[in-house]
């Protein structure tokens, strides 16, 4: 597929991130945030359908072509929030909208809840709140994370002799995707190494979280939203698997639209991308 975008690198005060720019420079500002272990190519089908918007589709730190965190650093969800805010600062955007998928949706909610004066609109795709943990599970979760950190140095990334093998592996990864979607993600996410190809992603991204927000913490961020917010819920997606989903969504300050498709419905095929675009185009362009 032919995609028109500009590849840029953003030198932030603490890290350098890569991004794809879509749309006119004077379009309404939108920062697009992908899911865990994905990259900016997550929006390759959707972004071109959202005309009139200036979309900055980021590679999160440790993903795609962005820098990895320094040695000894970690990938706490709130650190991504800081990164996104710094990206907005670099573009001089005091007000902007967020388009987030999965983990990118979670980061979007945290930023919009924490700094409502900066976020104009919130467009979420099959993601809302982080996995939570209560106080009594915290010691065990920290111990699990510490043990995983000790063994990380001895682990090696998989090497695929052929590009197609990596694509097929990604099809079965977190949030299973179509071959075409996996190919788009792999084109940006792979790098050549002796013996074939491996993923660019930082191995530390696979470590378990040492600390999780409680359910009360997570709900507080959603309830703190002050901007118009819209959630596309994939009928065969990952959110549907959460227990008591309807109860969770009831009373929250966001509009929910249910669409047929899997967790990556905005990327799996052109039809799904168009459905999501139809939900968000006028919404993100509104004053």
Q: Any idea which residues carry the catalytic annotation? A: 102
What is the separation of C-alpha 57 from the centre of its chain, rounded to a whole number of angstroms? 10
45 within 8 A of 36, measured Cβ to Cβ: no
Q: Which of 284, 267, 286, 277 is nearest to 41 (CA)?
A: 267
Q: Which of 286, 287, 271 is nearest to 49 (CA)?
A: 271
> For 203, which DSSP code?
G
Q: How far is CA 191 from CA 63, 82, 127, 143, in A?
A: 12, 27, 28, 33
- Beta-bridge mates of residue 193: 196
- Helix H or strand E segment including 260: strand 255-262
How many whole angstroms separate alpha carbon 233 and alpha carbon 254? Answer: 12
- 41, 44, 45, 51: CA torsion to nearest 10: 140
- 191, 267, 10, 29: CA torsion to nearest 10: 170
How many whole angstroms separate alpha carbon 161 and alpha carbon 276? Answer: 35
């Amino acid at each position: 597929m032919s995609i028109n975008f500009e590849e840029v690198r953003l030198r932030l005060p603490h890290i350098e991130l890569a991004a794809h720019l879509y749309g006119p420079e004077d379009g309404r500002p939108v920062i697009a945030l992908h899911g865990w272990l994905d990259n900016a190519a997550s929006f390759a089908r959707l972004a071109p359908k959202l005309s009139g918007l200036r979309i900055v589709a980021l590679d999160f730190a440790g993903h795609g072509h962005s820098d990895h965190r320094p040695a000894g650093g970690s990938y706490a969800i709130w650190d991504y929030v800081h990164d996104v805010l710094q990206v907005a600062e670099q573009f001089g955007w005091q007000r902007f909208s967020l388009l987030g998928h999965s983990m990118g949706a979670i980061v979007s909610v945290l930023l919009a809840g924490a700094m409502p004066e900066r976020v104009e609109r919130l467009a979420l795709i099959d993601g809302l709140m982080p996995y939570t943990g209560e106080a009594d599970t915290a010691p065990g979760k920290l111990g699990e994370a510490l043990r995983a950190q000790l063994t990380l140095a001895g682990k090696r990334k998989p090497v695929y002799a052929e590009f197609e093998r990596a694509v097929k592996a990604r099809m079965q990864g977190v949030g299973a995707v179509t071959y075409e979607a996996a190919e788009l993600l792999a084109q940006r996410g792979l790098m050549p190494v002796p013996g074939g190809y491996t993923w660019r992603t930082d191995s530390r991204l696979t470590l378990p979280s040492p600390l999780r927000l409680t359910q009360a913490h997570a709900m507080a961020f959603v309830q703190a939203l002050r901007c118009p917010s819209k959630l596309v819920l994939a009928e065969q997606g990952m959110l549907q698997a959460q227990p008591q989903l309807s109860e969770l969504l009831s009373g929250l300050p966001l509009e929910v639209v249910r669409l047929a498709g899997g967790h990556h419905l905005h990327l799996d095929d052109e039809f799904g991308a168009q459905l999501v675009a139809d939900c968000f185009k006028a919404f993100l362009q509104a004053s």
